[in-house]
Each structure stands twice: as C-alpha cells, then as structure tokens.
C-alpha cells in the first residue's frame, strides 16, 4: 500500500519506521484499516460452514492486523509526543473507534457463531489455552451487550461512543492544564534548592522558550520543589496549581465530564443487568465484589491513618518551631517530612540523587533481568518517534526475544505519569510475532539525568510490566503479556520494584555521577532503612483515592462527584494535610478510560501478592534464586492470561497470601 503506516515495514524486527510517517497519514490509514477489519468480520459471519473454533475464534484472533498497526503507532505518539494536530485526530478517532468496536461486539450473527461454539465446547477437544480463549471471547461478547436487542442495543452503542469521546476530552484537558501552567523563579527563589532541581527547572524553562528557571506540573519537578523549597508562599502556589488540574473552570474543566462518565457507566451496567458499575467491573477481577475490595482497603486504612496522624503531629511541631503558626498544610508535608528524614535517618535526598543516574538505573534493571531470566540487551540504532527515545534488542541464548523502547524524559508534549505498552504483543498465531514493548516515564532531563529514589522505583515498576510482555509465551495475542485481570496486572511490576532494594544491586549500580564511586555503605544502609519512611502519608493518599473510586461506582452515580468525594473523605477522617493522590478532576486512571475504573484498588491488591512473592525468593536462595525465578517466569510472566490469576499465583507460591506481608512491607504492621 502507498500509505507508509500500512505498507510492509522493511525495518529491523519490523519496527514502525517513524521517520517515514507524517500526521497526514493517520486518518487515511485508519479509514483503510477499519474497512479491512470490517471485511474480515463480514467474511467470518458469511462463512457457510458451521461455526468452529478455527473459522470463528481463531479467525477473530487473526482479524484486525492492519488496524493494530495503525493504532499502535498513533496512540504511542498521541500519548508521548502529542501536538495540536494529533490531539484533533484523537478527538476524531475516539468515537469512530468506539463505534467500530461496538459494531463488532454487538454483531448478532457473529455472536450466534461464538455462542454455538460455546454450547458445544465440551465436545470440541480444545486444549487448555483454546478453551480459555473461547471462554474469554464468549464472556466479552456478553459483557459488551451482544445479547441486547432493539432500543437497549442502540443505547449501548450510543453510550460506548460518548464514553470514548469524554475519555479523550478528559485526557486532553488534563494535558492542557499541565502543559500551560508554570511558575517562573527568580534567582533568589533558587536558594536552598539542590543542583539537580535547579538544572531541571532551567531545562523546563528552555523548553518553554524562556531564559529563566520554571516550576512545571511535571511530577519530577513539582514534587522535589515541594520537598526542598523553603519559600512557603511558592510551595502553596505550586501545590494549589497541581491540585487544581482539571478544575480551573472554562474549557479544560473536567468536573462535568466526570459526572457524565459516571452516569453513563451506571446506565451501561444497568442495561446488562447489574446493580452498579462496580459489580459489573469487578465480576471478572480477582476481587470479584466491591465488599472484598473495601475490606482490603479498610484493613490497610486504619493502621496507615494512625501512622499518618502521628507523623502529622511531629511535622506540626517542626513547623511551629520555625515560627509558622496555623495547621500543617498539604504544601508543608513534603518539606518537613524531608527535614525529618534527614534528622532521623541522616539521609539527604540531594546527596543521594547523584548516585541514582538514569543510565545506571537502566543498567541495573537490565542486569536484574539477566540474572533472573537470562536476558541480554543490545542497543539498536533505529528511527523512533522522538530523539529522547532509545531501543534495545532483547535476546536470550542468542535468540531474539523482543524489542524494548525507553522514553524517559518529561516534556510538554507528553501526558503525565508513567506507563508501559506493547506496540506489538507476543503471539504464535496466526504468525509468530515477537513483542515490541515501550516504557514511558516523565523524569527531569539533566546531564547526566539524575533520579530520586521514587523515580528509580518507577523505572523498575514499569520495567516489571515490560518483562511481563517480553517473556510472554502463549499462542494467542488476546491472552498475551499483560492481558490479565486488572488487579493481577500490577503484580509483576510491583514485584520487580523489590530488586531495587537488594543491597548488591545498589552497591554495583548506584555510582556517583561525578566521581564514579559506589554509594557508601553507610548511605546504602540509610536508604534501605528509610524505605518505609513516610509510608503513612503514601498509603493514606493512595487508599483515599481508591476508596473514592469505589464509591463513585457503587449504587447511584453522583450528580456532583466533588460532593461525593468530599463526603467519602470526611467519613474516613482524611488528614487535613494530605491530599488524594489523584483527585477527581485529574484522576486519569479512572476517567481517561475504563481501565482502572472501580479498579484503582488493584495496585494494593497486587501488592498483597508482590510482598508475599518476594518473600518466596528470600525464603529460598535469595533475591536471585534460580528456581524461584524459573517458577515466576513459568507460572506468571510467560503465562499471560492463559489461566485465572489465583491459579497462576498458587502454582508459583503454593497458596494465596494474606494482608500481613503487605503491612509488614510498608512498615505498618503492629509492633
């Protein structure tokens, strides 16, 4: 084909040749790809042969290859390197794609074929993986509304289209607020700030065409500013802007969008016969029900709040000793917590940061993957979508396994946060394809780029997701890699974070940016002892967000989400000086799409398992025990969604865990 996106990619490992694409290629490519996918679906339904696993289920697995190519390229650049034209295209594509996939999921003739195969499933001689793919396919049709008729069917299509549009608007409003706000700093405002933060602020200013340093709403800049700036007035101004994302009034305000999304989700669940969207959403997760989610969150909330309340008293006394009257505020917490950490652990993050060079932390993640799973990473010289990106060929025993792409630096064209996605997922049907996996982060650029400990943890977290994709070894793409229950998908990522805390890893890779010296043992010991420092704060801000998310999706949807949020926080006794990690107007996990809706709890559900899973290594031969590593790969990382999550975890560990390991790991267990 003449369109470069749809033509054969004669590149190493068939990587997308980004240097051959222009934004003008996307719309016609999408048009052609949707038409091709529709023709493939029509061919399945028109097949005169009786429905079989091969001519229906496997045919569905094989369909849509051209559309996958277009979407993998477009959504990669739309999220990580957007521009006004791409934002316009995204607004146009979202309802179009929602309508297309809704057309497929509500195709009565197609569903009849799937249902006919499902009815004969026990006589088909399917292997375990095929039986799993059939079950998931049949269930997805039912949950998408394929059995609905008439007006209900039509309304479901309308809801899906509108939700797609609203999710895109929510995301773009948030990106606009984050991109447009900045606070210029005079030279006197830099007093007391560490060098790495000053460098990052100057770089952020240059990106905006200014010759002065600026504070932006990138987490890698605003969090250390709140942590280190002695200027309480500037901290307040920056924090209020950060907290107000999506709630500034005008065209980018997300509050009405959130309300409409919640109402449409509730209506969608009602059409399918569920009492609430939470019941609908959690039916296919490990948790199964809202009650089980709440039980977990509240079991953690009580000790976390008790710790946070005690910490707040200490920080308030420190603030008062500085002559600051009034209550401890959210823009004060990080500043005084950092002082306290220096006093109690003698750990200065400004002194620590030169030891956490981005390139060395990437090397550390790669080395852990080598020692655990035998993976090797060799740099690739290929065209990518932005100069900041880098790529590696991932091999094992000389055999190509995957391509890994890293896009690590914050910029105005990138949405906030960090994520992992597969531009191509692993599969062996209808053809053998190796994965192309990308990690996107928002670290401050520098020369060299230095990370906070939290940044380094984020790098390991996203690389854990990447390993789940790269080590996948299944037949069908629909169950490949991270295609698992939402409250299971965070297990590999959170588990891999533990290797950052292994002393021998930091000893080898935490080397000083200027001297090259390894981190002194005294500092290393302090870092490891301080891992659970301020965990009351971190746990409270997270659990509050998860409980608000759950409350949004239970029962009748709120007409005013902000009022529901306030009521939930009041009932919890939310500490005044701690804000939600993600307040409603910028809660992209929940409102940018359905992925984490009613599911933000899943990080903690997975943490119950990751704490227990790492304990399995410690109980065996240590962090790099080969038998435990093999069991982890065989039963979890390579298995994708081929079995139920509890079956996979039990196969690895021999049992399911309790909450005790999590509380101990966060330093919240009763002493």
For residue range 171-213, list pLDDT tens digits in order: 999 999 999 999 999 999 999 999 999 999 999 999 999 999 9
Distance CA 342, CA 322 (A): 16
CA 294, CA 549: separation in Å to the nearest integer? 11
Residue 254 is classified by DSSP as -
* Confidence grade of residue 509 (pLDDT, cut at 50, 70, 90): very high
- Separation CA 196–CA 444 (nearest Å): 9
pLDDT of residue 317: 98
Asked whether the predicted pLDDT for residue 671 surpasses 90, the reply is no
The reported pLDDT for the residue numbered 661 is 85
Using alpha carbons, select from 88, 99, 72 the residue that is nearest to residue 437: 72
Residue tagged active-site, from 178, 349, 462, 490:
462
Cα 394 to Cα 343, 375, 465: the distances in Å are: 44, 7, 15
Q: Can you name the residues that pair with 376 across neighbouring β-strands?
A: 395
CA distance 352 to 70: 43
Q: Say what the pTM is.
A: 0.93
Chain centre to alpha carbon of residue 375: 23
H helix or E strand, kind and range, residue 438: strand 436-443
Q: With bands split at pLDDT 50, 70 and 90, how would you rate the model's confidence at 356?
A: very high
**DSSP string covering 335-388:** HHHHHHHHHHH---HHHHGGG-BHHHHHHHHHHHHHHHH-EEEEEE----SSTT
- Give the model's pLDDT for residue 670: 66
**What would the mean pLDDT of 74-86 be, rounded to a whole number?**
97
Q: What's the mean pLDDT when you consider all of the chain?
A: 96
Sign of CA dihedral 489, 495, 496, 497: positive
Give yes or no for a contact between 606 and 487, defined as CB atoms under 8 angstroms apart: yes
* pLDDT for res 1: 55
Structure tokens at 588: 């992209």
3-state secondary structure of 75: helix
Residues of the chain with pLDDT > 90, as a percent, come to 96
Q: Is the confidence at residue 275, as pLDDT, over 60?
A: yes
pLDDT of residue 223: 96
CB 261 within 8 A of CB 159: no
Average pLDDT over residues 253-274: 98
List of domains in the chain = 12-105+107-147 (1.20.1050.40), 181-245 (no CATH), 251-346+535-592 (1.10.1370.10), 354-525+603-665 (1.10.1370.40)
- Nearest Cα residue to 534 out of 356, 362, 254, 308: 308
The predicted model gives 66-93 an average pLDDT of: 97
Q: Which of 348, 448, 437, 336 is nearest to 394 (CA)?
A: 437
Contact 585, 255 (CB under 8 A): yes
pLDDT digits (tens, 9 = 90+) for 234-250: 999 999 999 999 999 99
DSSP state of 239: H
pLDDT confidence of residue 304:
97
Residue 600 has pLDDT above 90, yes or no: yes
- Residue 396, CB-side half-sphere exposure with 13 Å CA sphere: 14
Could you give the dihedral angle defined by the CA atoms of residues 519, 463, 588 and 267, in that order, rounded to the nearest 10 degrees? -150
609-636 pLDDT, tens per residue?
999 999 999 999 999 999 999 999 999 9
Region 371-398 average pLDDT: 98
Contact partners, residue 381, CB within 8 Å, separation at least 6:
none
Q: Is the pLDDT of residue 444 over 60?
A: yes
pLDDT number for residue 361: 98
Phi then psi for 427, rounded to 5 degrees?
A: -165, 160
CA distance 318 to 230: 13
Give mean pLDDT, residues 434-439. Answer: 98
The sign of the torsion formed by the CA atoms of 19, 24, 29, 32 equals: negative
Judge whether residue 319 has pLDDT over 60. yes
* Cβ burial 116-135 (10 Å sphere, 16+ → b, else e): ebbeeeeeeebeebbebbbe
- The C-alpha atoms of residue 215 and residue 533 are separated, in whole angstroms, by 26
Q: Cβ(550)–Cβ(327) under 8 Å? A: no
Please tell me the predicted confidence (pLDDT) of residue 121. Answer: 98
Handedness of CA 171, 493, 197, 212 (dihedral sign): negative
Q: Look at residue 658 in the predicted model and tell me its pLDDT.
A: 87
Selection from 534, 533, 598, 542 nearest residue 301 by Cα: 542
Task: Look at 24-33, 112-121, 426-435, 520-529 and tell me which has the smallest mean pLDDT.
Answer: 520-529
426 contacts 400 by C-beta, under 8 angstroms: no
Length of the chain: 671
Structure tokens given for 626: 């080969």
462 is catalytic: yes
């Amino acid at each position: 084909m003449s369109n470069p996106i749809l033509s054969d990619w004669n590149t190493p490992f068939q990587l997308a040749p980004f240097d051959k694409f222009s934004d003008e290629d996307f719309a016609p490519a999408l048009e052609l790809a949707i038409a091709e996918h529709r023709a493939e679906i029509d061919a399945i339904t028109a097949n005169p042969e009786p429905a079989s696993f091969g001519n229906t289920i496997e045919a569905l697995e094989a369909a849509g290859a051209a559309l996958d190519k277009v979407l993998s390229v477009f959504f990669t650049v739309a999220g990580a390197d957007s521009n006004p034209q791409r934002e316009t295209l995204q607004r146009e594509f979202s309802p179009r794609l929602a309508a297309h996939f809704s057309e497929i999921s509500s195709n009565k003739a197609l569903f009849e074929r799937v249902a006919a195969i499902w009815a004969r499933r026990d006589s088909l001689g399917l292997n375990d993986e095929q039986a799993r793919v059939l079950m998931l396919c049949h269930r997805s049709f039912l949950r998408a509304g394929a059995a609905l008729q008439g007006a209900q069917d039509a309304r479901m299509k309308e809801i899906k289209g509108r939700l797609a549009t609203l999710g895109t608007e929510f995301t773009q409003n948030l990106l606009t607020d984050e991109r447009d706000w900045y606070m210029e700093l005079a030279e006197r405002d830099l007093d007391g700030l560490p060098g790495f933060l000053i460098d990052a602020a100057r770089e952020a200013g240059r990106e905006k065409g200014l010759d002065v340093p600026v504070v932006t709403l990138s987490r890698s800049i605003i969090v250390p500013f709140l942590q280190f700036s002695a200027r309480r007035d500037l901290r307040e101004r920056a924090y209020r802007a950060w907290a107000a994302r999506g709630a500034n009034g005008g065209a980018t305000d997300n509050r009405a969008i959130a309300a409409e999304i919640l109402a449409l989700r509730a209506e969608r669940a009602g059409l399918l016969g569920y009492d609430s969207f939470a019941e609908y959403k959690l039916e296919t997760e490990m948790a199964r029900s809202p009650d089980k989610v709440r039980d977990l969150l509240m079991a953690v909330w009580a000790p976390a709040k008790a710790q946070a309340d005690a910490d707040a008293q200490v920080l308030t006394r420190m603030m008062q000793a500085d002559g600051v009257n009034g209550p401890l505020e959210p823009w004060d917490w990080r500043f005084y917590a950092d002082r306290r950490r220096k006093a109690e652990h003698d750990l200065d993050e400004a002194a620590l940061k030169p030891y956490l060079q981005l390139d060395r932390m990437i090397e550390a993640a790669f080395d852990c993957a080598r020692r655990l799973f035998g993976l090797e990473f060799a740099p690739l010289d290929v065209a990518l979508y932005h100069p900041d990106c880098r790529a590696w060929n991932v091999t094992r025993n000389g055999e190509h396994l995957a391509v890994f792409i890293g896009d690590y630096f914050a910029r105005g064209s990138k949405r906030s946060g960090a994520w992992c996605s597969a531009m191509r997922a692993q599969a062996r049907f209808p053809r053998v394809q190796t994965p192309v996996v990308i990690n996107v982060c928002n670290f401050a650029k520098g020369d060299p780029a230095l990370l906070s400990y939290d940044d380094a943890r984020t790098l390991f977290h996203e690389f854990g997701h990447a390993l789940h994709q790269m080590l996948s070894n299944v037949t069908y793409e629909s169950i490949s890699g991270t295609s698992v229950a939402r409250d299971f998908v965070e297990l590999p990522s959170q588990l891999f974070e533990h290797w950052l805390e292994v002393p021998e890893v930091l000893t080898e890779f935490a080397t000083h940016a200027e001297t090259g010296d390894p981190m002194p043992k005294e500092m290393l010991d302090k870092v490891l002892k301080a891992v659970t420092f301020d965990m009351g704060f971190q746990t409270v801000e997270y659990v509050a967000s998860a409980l608000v998310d759950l409350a949004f999706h239970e029962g009748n949807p709120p007409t005013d989400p902000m009022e529901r949020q306030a009521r939930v926080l009041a009932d919890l006794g939310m500490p005044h000086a701690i804000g939600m990690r993600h307040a409603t107007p910028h809660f992209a996990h929940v409102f940018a799409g359905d992925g984490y809706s009613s599911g933000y709890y899943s990080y903690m559900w997975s943490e119950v398992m990751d704490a227990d899973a790492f304990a399995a290594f410690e109980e065996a031969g240590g962090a790099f025990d080969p038998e435990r590593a093999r069991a982890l790969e065989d039963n979890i990382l390579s298995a994708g969604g081929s079995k139920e999550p509890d079956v996979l975890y039990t196969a690895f560990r021999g049992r399911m865990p309790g909450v005790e390991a999590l509380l101990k790991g966060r330093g919240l267990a009763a002493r």
